[in-house]
Amino acid sequence: MTFENAVGLVLAAALIVFLIVALVFPERF
């Protein structure tokens, strides 16, 4: 796995987690 590929996976995972948190806790945003 290349460095760029790893960074892309981390960013995608962080975005998915952020979206789930925004859906579960809408009053925080």
Q: Are 15 and 8 in contact (CB under 8 A)?
A: no
Using one digit for the tens of pLDDT, what is the confidence trace for 1-29?
799 999 999 999 999 999 999 999 988 66
> Alpha helix (H) ranges present in 1-29?
3-24
Q: Can you give the pLDDT at residue 27?
A: 82
Q: Can you give the pLDDT at residue 26?
A: 80
| Residue 22 DSSP class | H
SS3 of residue 3 by DSSP = helix
Q: Is the pTM of this model over 0.75?
A: no
Q: Distance between CA 23 and CA 2 in Å, rounded?
A: 32
Q: Which two tokens stand for residue 13?
A: 């995972």
The residue among 21, 26, 18 whose CA lies nearest residue 10 is: 18
